[in-house]
Amino acid sequence: MTDIKSEVTNSIGGITAYRSHIKKKKITVVILIFLVFFFILISINAGAAELNPWKVFKTLIGITDEKANIVIWRIRMPRVIAAVVAGAGLSVAGCVMQNNLKNPLASPSTLGIASAATFGANLAIIVFGAGTVLNTAGDSVAINNPYIVTICAFISSMSAIIIILGLAKLRSFSPEAIILAGVALSSIFGAGITILQYFSSDIKIAAAIFWTFGDLGRVSWKEVIIISVIVLISIVYFSFKRWDYNALSNGEETAKSLGVNTNRVRFWGLLISALITSVAVSFLGMIGFVGLIGPQIMMRIVGADYRFLIPTSALMGSVILLIADTAARILISPIVLPVGALTSLLGGPMFLYMLMRGTKGKK
Amino acid sequence: MSMIVKDISFSYSKHKILNKICFEVKGGDCVAVLGTNGVGKSTLLKCLNKVILAQSGEISIKEKTLKEMSGDELAKLIGYVPQNESFSDSTVFDAVLLGRKPYIKWDVTKNDLEIAENVINALSLDKFSLRKVNRMSGGEMQKVAIARALAQQPLVLLFDEPTSNLDLKNQLEVIQIIKDIVREKQISAIVTMHDLNLALRFADKFLMMKEGKIYATGGKEIITRENILEVYGVDVSIENFNGYDVVIPN
């Protein structure tokens, strides 16, 4: 045996090789940052109002006419920044949920958070009258009080996560118990939505369904700031816990033996992930699968090292939502597709692929 | 350095698993914990490390009880290699570096990297250091788990069935690695084992457990036909072969 503390050797698999391996992951982070900026520019350029890149550039640096200014700063920019922060938030929330539950299929929908948020929104629109009909030709249905919808969706989704965490605590936070609790809650909230809609008028049902279409176009600067602050603080918190997550990904016993208070780490991890999800879903509607696709793509590229998986998942989430939102605006322009439908179109097949891969593995 | 275990008890609901367990382990001791399946060997190991909390009793190292220690403090003193660990999708170097977690503030230091590298070299894992652990063989994975525990620079190492699922060559190799570490660093190893012959070859102290209690404790002299019959319910003969005591079922 060599002395562990004193002798430093330069073997083929030593520090030098490891540093070069880590360097590749750092390069991945840099590439993703460039991709985010690239797609931000593409996204700002895209839209029904015809603005060429030069005009967009001039608007961004403040030399332009009022019309372009309104289109860029009041319409496109909040939407683009919302895509960046909501994408990052949903993806990093999925990343932490998957780690905490040691389940690659864990996501806001698996935990019933998304169903709970939808129930809250339905309650606001149908019972509290937050949805209405506009007589203009473009949008026949609109949410006239988004904050009631948001608050109800938020309270409902937080209550879901509190119920799940409470139930799970009784069973010592076993990942299976949490997933099962999520499935049960999804059914209960699903039934609640059906009952609400059954006794409601056509107009209110239409308003409720409109809300469930994930749409970045409804967001204002105020809401973008709220989402940004929550997502940023959460990412900083998750980054501080990255070594705990690395330990947790090797199993409960290993994590505990490395000094991790696994119950506490899981509790806060899931609570903050739920907070991000409920805030994003409440302001923007249902945007499914970003929390599943982002971390799973990055897991295949950077591995299960949460020092890199957290920032890269966040960046990949931004890229996915920017691409999906841009595509939603230009595919059949001037009609804007709901971005939630596009992310689900991307995510659904990936979910099925992962399920099939899992089944093959078990065989 | 010594680890003192006083009156440790643990129950799952009303079923008593450990009943007032007492023993002491000193630096340089290789201790084998023996007994039938379900007797509480793994539970005892987990209690020693606060992976599960004993409901009564006290465990102390360096005259400080485990209850007084934070998770990180404890992880700097006790390394644990669980049975059948499920490694994440990480490289050998990352998996070993994780052993430095109790010491890491924000990111790894040069010292952490050097310690990980030297443990990897010491266990001859350097050829695989950038390979994914979850794609390695059972024996190699067990070595990685040992390397990670060593990177913690602990005073006590706990191994839960370290040779289960290993072929004979790997069993002997893993056992020899543990023995060498304990001798060289004068730390302690507490190992749960099923194979009495491997235990006789490896350990210098034995804890024989029966019904959640310590039935017998001491050196090789306690591995007798009578004790084995009492603990395992199996009649055996013990023969000396090439200087080794060998247990042969009758």
ipTM for the complex shown: 0.89
Coil, helix or strand for A233? helix
Residue A277: pLDDT band by 50, 70, 90 thresholds?
Answer: confident
Name the minimum distance, in Å, from the CA of A299 to any CA of chain B: 8
CA distances (Å), origin A320, targets A29, A35, A285, A307, B141: 15, 10, 17, 21, 36
pLDDT at residue A78 above 70? Answer: yes
pLDDT at residue A362 above 50? Answer: no
Residue A27: pLDDT band by 50, 70, 90 thresholds?
Answer: very high
Q: Is the peptide bond before A334 cis (omega within 30 degrees of 0)?
A: yes
Residues from chain B contacting residue A307 (CB–CB below 8 Å): 107
pLDDT at residue A293 above 90? Answer: no
Q: Which of A53-57, A200-204, A286-290 has the lowest mean pLDDT?
A: A53-57
The per-residue pLDDT for range A308-334, each reduced to its tens digit, is: 999 999 999 999 999 998 988 888 777
Residues from chain A contacting residue B51 (CB–CB below 8 Å): 253, 256-257
Per-residue tokens: B100: 């430095």
CA atoms within 13 A on the CB side of A19: 12
Which among A326-335, B135-144, B198-207 has the top mean pLDDT?
A: B198-207
**Cβ-proximal residues to A360 (8 Å cutoff; 6+ apart), any chain:** none
Name the minimum distance, in Å, from the CA of A69 to any CA of chain B: 43
- The pLDDT mean for chain A works out to 81
Name the minimum distance, in Å, from the CA of B159 to any CA of chain A: 12
Is A236 at the interface with chain B, CB within 8 A?
Answer: no
- How far apart are the C-alpha atoms of B160 and B209, rounded to whole Å? 15
Q: What is the pTM of this model?
A: 0.85
**Cβ-proximal residues to A260 (8 Å cutoff; 6+ apart), any chain:** A244, A247, A248, B71, B101
Is A251 at the interface with chain B, CB within 8 A?
Answer: yes
Q: What is the 3-state secondary structure (H, E, C) of B176-193?
A: HHHHHHHHHHCCEEEEEC
Residue A175: pLDDT band by 50, 70, 90 thresholds?
Answer: low
Instruction: Find the residue in A nearest to B185 (Cα).
Output: A3
Instruction: Find the residue in A nearest to B151 (Cα).
Output: A4
- How far apart are the C-alpha atoms of A122 and A206, rounded to whole Å? 10
Is A243 at the interface with chain B, CB within 8 A?
Answer: yes
Residues from chain B contacting residue A7 (CB–CB below 8 Å): 118
Query: Per the CB < 8 Å rule, is A260 touching B153?
Result: no
Residue A172: pLDDT band by 50, 70, 90 thresholds?
Answer: low
Closest among A78, A79, A53, A75 to A64, alpha carbons compared:
A53
Domains of chain A plus CATH, in order, are 18-362 (1.10.3470.10)
- How far apart are the C-alpha atoms of A284 and A216, rounded to whole Å? 6
Closest among B185, B163, B212 to B41, alpha carbons compared:
B212
- Comparing A134 with A137, the larger pLDDT belongs to A134
Name the minimum distance, in Å, from the CA of B139 to any CA of chain A: 17
- Comparing B84 with B198, the larger pLDDT belongs to B198
Per-residue tokens: A174: 């076993």
Q: What is the mean pLDDT of residues B19-30?
A: 88
- Comparing A135 with A98, the larger pLDDT belongs to A98
pLDDT at residue A4 above 50? Answer: no
Q: What is the mean pLDDT of residues A99-123?
A: 82
pLDDT of A214 reads: 76
Percent of chain B with pLDDT over 70: 100
pLDDT of A113 reads: 84
β pairing state of B213-218 and B205-210: antiparallel
pLDDT of A82 reads: 93
Which among A88-92, A135-139, A170-174 has the top mean pLDDT?
A: A88-92
Residue A9: pLDDT band by 50, 70, 90 thresholds?
Answer: very low
pLDDT at residue A141 above 60? Answer: no
- How far apart are the C-alpha atoms of A218 and A146, rounded to whole Å? 9
Interface of A with B in 263-302 (CB under 8 A): 299
Phi then psi dihedrals of residue A338, to 5 deg: -70, 125
Q: What is the mean pLDDT of residues B165-193?
A: 86
- How far apart are the C-alpha atoms of B17 and B37, rounded to whole Å? 12
pLDDT at residue A133 above 70? Answer: no
pLDDT of A171 reads: 64
- The pLDDT mean for chain B works out to 88
The per-residue pLDDT for range B93-127, each reduced to its tens digit, is: 999 999 999 999 888 899 999 999 988 988 888 88
Percent of chain A with pLDDT over 70: 85
Is A4 at the interface with chain B, CB within 8 A?
Answer: yes
